[in-house]
Amino acid sequence: MNRLFLNKIVLALSTLSAIIGIGFLFWILATLSIKGVSALSFDIFLNDLVNGGIRNLLVGQFTMAFIATIVGVPIGMMAGIYLREYGNNSTFAMIIRNLSDIMMSAPSIVIGVFVYAIIVSPMNGYSGFAGAAALSIMMIPIVISTTDNMLSLVPKELREAGIALGGSKHKIILQIVLKAAKIGITTGILLAFARIIGETAPLLFTSANSAYFTMDLSEQFPSLTVSIYNLANYPDSESRDLAWAASFVLTMIVLFINLLGRYFTRDKG
């Protein structure tokens, strides 16, 4: 009886905690939707920030995120492949895994300060390159962990079958192991992209912001998240309304990418 009673208490507390957490989530989403949709208009997608729009901000945010992806995904995947296929459980591999876990849990603002010290300060100015570098540093450990974990789920028998057919190590990895884990790795990359697309803190110290449309990555670069932060602190209602609209658009983008990742995961099952 005591164990059954204790189980009911734990179940009730767990359910209550879940309801409270989901309640706050829906409260945030409801507030964001109400204020964001009311401030949303088609014109903000056609104008730049200087004219009360977010066109240059969306282009700038996605440009830095795509550059970060192009840099971070190959590095992360190669590191993950090394850890699982070559490093095994060696001391060096364990050190890399621990460092990767530390980087994943490091506050994003710390990464921003680090990139500021090694890129922004020596170059005497903010730049899109620095922003992309900060985002890629954030992305690399996520891709490493995802690749490492997904490759660990591939049955050892597939590798042994490749060896029996006379395949070399790298061909077995490229043609058998990676193909078997491609859905899980793709999902991890999408979720990593969803995380960096919504980052603000590292961009405050690296790319800063620009109210004008530009594709020159060597100067201050437009950023949707930094603009939301700035606009929310302006005293006029027009700027705050634009901040709500931009926040709603960013939330929908992140939500779509996350749902896309879940869709791939469901297909894998």
| CATH H-level, domain 56-268: superfamily | MetI-like (1.10.3720.10)
Looking at residue 20, its pLDDT comes to 94
CB 242 within 8 A of CB 54: yes
Q: In a 3-state reduction of DSSP, which class is residue 176?
A: helix
Phi, psi of 155 (to 5 degrees): -60, 140
Under-50 pLDDT residues of the chain: 269
What's the rounded Cα separation, in Å, for the pair 218 and 127? 5
Looking at residue 141, its pLDDT comes to 93
Looking at residue 147, its pLDDT comes to 92
CB 201 within 8 A of CB 113: no
The answer, as to whether pTM is greater than 0.75, is yes
Sequence-distant (≥ 6) Cβ neighbours of residue 180 within 8 angstroms: 154, 158
Looking at residue 228, its pLDDT comes to 92
Residue with tokens 């490492």: 148
Residue type, 190: L
Looking at residue 78, its pLDDT comes to 93
What's the rounded Cα separation, in Å, for the pair 5 and 1? 6
DSSP 25: H
Looking at residue 175, its pLDDT comes to 85
Domain spans in the chain, listed from the N-terminal domain onward? 56-268
Looking at residue 257, its pLDDT comes to 86
What's the rounded Cα separation, in Å, for the pair 265 and 190? 11
Give the DSSP per-residue string, 94-126.
Answer: HHHHHHHHHHHHS-HHHHHHHHIIIIIHHHTS-
What sign for the dihedral angle of Cα 89, 92, 93, 97? positive
Residue with tokens 């803190």: 201
Q: What angle do CA 10, 11, 12 make, to 5 degrees?
A: 90
Looking at residue 265, its pLDDT comes to 67
Comparing CA positions, the residue from 37, 55, 39 lying closest to residue 47 is: 55
